[in-house]
Amino acid sequence: MVKKTERNPLILDNTQIHSHDWELNSVDASLKQEFLNELDCSEVLADLLVRRSFRSVEKAAEFLDPKLSHLHDPDLLPGLQEAVERIVQSIRENEKVVIFGDYDVDGLSSTALLYEFLSFVGKPPETYIPERLSEGYGLNVEAVKKLSRQEVDLIITVDNGSTAFEAAQAARDLQIDLVIIDHHLLDQELPVAKAVVNPWRADSRYPFKDLAGVGVTFKVVWALCQHFSRDKKVSPEFRKFMLDTLAYVALGTVADVVPLVGENRVLVRFGLMALEATTRPGLSELVRVAMARGGGLDSVAIAFRIAPLLNAAGRMGRSDQALKLLICQDPQEANALRRSLEKENEQRKEIERKIHEEARQEVLHSFDLKEERAIVLARQGWHPGVIGIVASRIVDEFYRPTLLICLEGEEGKGSARSISQVSIREALEESSHCLQGFGGHAMAAGVKIDAQRVEELRRSLNQAVSVEPKDMIPEIEVDGEYPLSLWNHEVLRDIQRLAPFGEGNREPRFGLKGAAVAGSPRYLGKTEEHLTFFVSDQRVSLRAVAFGQARLLEPVSQNKTNLKFIYQPYINTFRGANSIEMRIQKILL
């Protein structure tokens, strides 16, 4: 590493101030006109549909108006009938059943959904959420032994289990039956189990592979409802149960960042309706959290308000509290649990802020990003539950593959995040001689390492990453350029027909050239993490907020004219009044 005493100019490039421009694809005028004629939409929405590769009115109409009838038959999932038969047997024979979930929102939602079904049919199971910091992810041998001592007859894993070969064998040896319900990639070989339900199985012909764990669990519950209804068409009472519990499916699907297209789009669209209408005390408390600031209940509210609250419990080592809230039936208890989780989340935020600032300062003063292809930082005392979030924030600011390692004595546990041009898993594979173990995928991974080998790993990763630092520039994607005067409530509501937004269906963002900052930019928020100012295109001025970009106060204040912005227009509701504002994504000089 090269010691730097001044701010690296390349870093300024990666604090979302860029010198290059965006490019817009041309729009097929005849197709756009067809959408305008047939879909009763605004010109902006017609442009967006063309640019998002819709090539027929039929496909566009189906996307804009998802229906439950678009969902695939659960029977198409491999292993489903075997799972249903074994779960029905456990109900009929009054066996002791444990749902083994996961500490993230997808795992918690999956656990809550199956728990609710079994309770609905009069056989409430026990639940087991592994402790993140001591047990880690997924079914493990020690947990199986513990459940054996409790005389458990059946373990049902949700959102995990597909690669739990040792734990599955331990369950068989201890005469515990195992049903695996999962959505993660798996090997050709399956763990020994009564059933493995997973759309990614080699023998799977399921049409939509990208279900979240809770989506697969919902399909199993659907098939169980069919069984108890004695018909493919479920009875009214089971139909109501399924529609109500789509609230859990929306939570887990959005939080797990699976593509919000195909079946996921249908599940989330109807799941949001179920969540907003819920009478379940725990879910009602989460809705209150989502709408506390006057915003609506949408996928963004789940991703940025509800999911962090539920995930905070797992990060701080108390996932059981989050599950208790999800399935809580007592309003007073639900309120107390929600308040407890909010305290946990505030503690998580404070720890995260401290680690982020420490990591950021080290990058600013100890790295030459003209040379470094990967950022590797390690420190004693960092909290293992939040370093993944901090690594993501470092990537967002400096646009380098980043690995943060919390050291405990001679051992280190790390979380890595990457950029679109670099597979962090492949880079770690090339550096595996430095590691005690690792796992993950192209954009995120976890590692175990001897503390003495951190510097060796840093050198190795910088060799393993083939992309030159000069080529590590964030892609700029823009959906169109329009004058600020175009935005009105009708157009913005029309764009919302593309919602729910998320992975694979991001919220549209637009470019604005030749704009100016009116007045003086100022900090926003209790911790002054955000920036606010007014943007003018000579005809209209709109208030703008740049979330998490307080570091840009000085450069924006010094360069207030002839700016380019990438932004999202939105309707802000505050104290009953609606106003159109801009959410700034990037500022280009």
- Report the CATH number that the domain containing residue 400 is assigned in CATH: 3.10.310.30
The alpha carbon of residue 270 and the mean position of all alpha carbons in its chain are separated, in whole angstroms, by: 19
What pLDDT is stored for residue 274 in this prediction?
Answer: 98
CA nearest neighbour of 95 among 135, 58, 126: 126
CATH label of the domain that carries residue 489: 2.40.50.460
Do 38 and 131 belong to one domain? no
Do 384 and 462 belong to one domain? yes
Do 494 and 554 belong to one domain? yes
Do 264 and 239 belong to one domain? yes
Residue 565 has pLDDT above 60, yes or no: yes
β-pairing verdict for 437-440 and 411-417 = unpaired
Q: Are 496 and 41 in contact (CB under 8 A)?
A: no
Judged by DSSP in three states, 564 sits in strand
In a domain, 410, yes or no: yes
Q: pLDDT tens across 346-361, in order?
A: 999 999 999 999 999 9
CA nearest neighbour of 101 among 403, 355, 353, 314: 314
In a domain, 357, yes or no: no
Q: Are 109 and 260 in contact (CB under 8 A)?
A: no
Of the three residues 277, 300, 319, the one that is the final residue of a domain is 277
DSSP-H helix ranges across 519-581: 553-558
More reliable by pLDDT, 314 or 150: 150
- Tell me the average pLDDT across 107-127: 98
Q: What percent of the chain has pLDDT over 70?
A: 96
Judged by DSSP in three states, 287 sits in helix
**Non-local CB neighbours of 18 within 8 Å, separated by 6+ positions:** 473, 474, 476, 586, 588, 589
Burial class (CB in 10 A: 0-12, 13-18, 19+), 514: exposed
Lowest-confidence segment of 123-127, 205-209, 437-441 by average pLDDT: 437-441
Main-chain phi, psi angles of 381, to 5 degrees: 90, -10
Residue 1 has pLDDT above 70, yes or no: no
Of the three residues 277, 312, 343, the one that is the final residue of a domain is 277
As given in the structure block, the two tokens for residue 145 are 């032994």
In a domain, 325, yes or no: no
* Owner of token pair 């100890």: 366
Measured CA to CA, the distance from residue 247 to residue 529 in angstroms comes to: 32
What pLDDT is stored for residue 23 in this prediction?
Answer: 80
- Tell me the average pLDDT across 48-61: 95
pLDDT category at 132 given cuts 50, 70, 90 is confident
Measured CA to CA, the distance from residue 58 to residue 120 in angstroms comes to: 39
Q: pLDDT tens across 14-33, in order?
A: 444 444 678 887 899 999 99
In a domain, 361, yes or no: no
Residue 552 has pLDDT above 60, yes or no: yes
Lowest-confidence segment of 18-32, 48-62, 225-239, 449-463 by average pLDDT: 18-32
Judged by DSSP in three states, 352 sits in helix
Q: pLDDT tens across 228-248, in order?
A: 999 999 999 999 999 999 999
CA nearest neighbour of 319 among 445, 137, 80: 137
Do 455 and 504 belong to one domain? no
Measured CA to CA, the distance from residue 223 to residue 227 in angstroms comes to: 6
Residue 430 has pLDDT above 90, yes or no: yes
What pLDDT is stored for residue 445 in this prediction?
Answer: 87
Do 119 and 263 belong to one domain? yes
What pLDDT is stored for residue 125 in this prediction?
Answer: 98
In a domain, 296, yes or no: no
What pLDDT is stored for residue 315 in this prediction?
Answer: 80
Annotate 382-432 with DSSP letters as a single string: --TTTHHHHHHHHHHHH-S-EEEEEEETTEEEEEEE--TT--HHHHHHHTG
For residue 127, what are the CA distances in angstroms to 95, 145, 162, 269? 14, 15, 19, 28
Give the angle subtended at the CA of 322 by the CAs of 316 and 324, to the nearest 5°: 135
As given in the structure block, the two tokens for residue 104 are 């993230």
Measured CA to CA, the distance from residue 32 to residue 48 in angstroms comes to: 9
CA nearest neighbour of 586 among 472, 524, 509: 509
What pLDDT is stored for residue 294 in this prediction?
Answer: 64
What pLDDT is stored for residue 570 in this prediction?
Answer: 93
What pLDDT is stored for residue 191 in this prediction?
Answer: 97
The alpha carbon of residue 404 and the mean position of all alpha carbons in its chain are separated, in whole angstroms, by: 20
CATH label of the domain that carries residue 166: 3.90.1640.30
Do 104 and 244 belong to one domain? yes
Do 204 and 158 belong to one domain? yes
Q: What percent of the chain has pLDDT over 90?
A: 78
What pLDDT is stored for residue 194 in this prediction?
Answer: 98
Neighbours of 208 (CB within 10 A): 16
State the total domains in the chain. Answer: 3
Half-sphere CA count of 325, side-chain side, radius 13 A = 26
Tell me the pTM: 0.89
Residue 573 has pLDDT above 90, yes or no: no
In a domain, 535, yes or no: yes
Ranges of beta strands (E only) in 320-389 are: 375-380
In a domain, 140, yes or no: yes
What pLDDT is stored for residue 15 in this prediction?
Answer: 41
Measured CA to CA, the distance from residue 404 to residue 384 in angstroms comes to: 9
CA nearest neighbour of 27 among 48, 3, 6: 48
Average predicted confidence (pLDDT) for the chain: 91
Sheet containing strand 402-408, edge to edge, reads: 375-380, 402-408, 411-417, 444-450, 437-440
In a domain, 346, yes or no: no
Measured CA to CA, the distance from residue 383 to residue 133 in angstroms comes to: 10
Cis peptide before 500 (omega within 30 of 0): yes
Domain that holds residue 449: 374-467
Measured CA to CA, the distance from residue 232 to residue 264 in angstroms comes to: 22
Of the three residues 421, 449, 467, the one that is the final residue of a domain is 467
Burial class (CB in 10 A: 0-12, 13-18, 19+), 48: buried
Amino acid identity at 333:
E
Q: pLDDT tens across 257-311, in order?
A: 899 999 999 999 999 999 999 999 999 999 999 988 666 899 999 999 999 999 9
Do 89 and 163 belong to one domain? yes
Do 86 and 29 belong to one domain? no
What pLDDT is stored for residue 370 in this prediction?
Answer: 92
CA nearest neighbour of 16 among 582, 581, 564, 480: 564
What H or E segment, with its residue span, contains residue 584?
Answer: strand 577-588
Helix axes 236-255, 213-229, angle to 10 degrees: 170
Do 126 and 261 belong to one domain? yes
As given in the structure block, the two tokens for residue 461 are 């990763």
Do 485 and 528 belong to one domain? yes
* Owner of token pair 């509501």: 493
Residues facing 194 on adjacent strands: none
Give the angle subtended at the CA of 233 by the CAs of 231 and 236, to the nearest 5°: 105
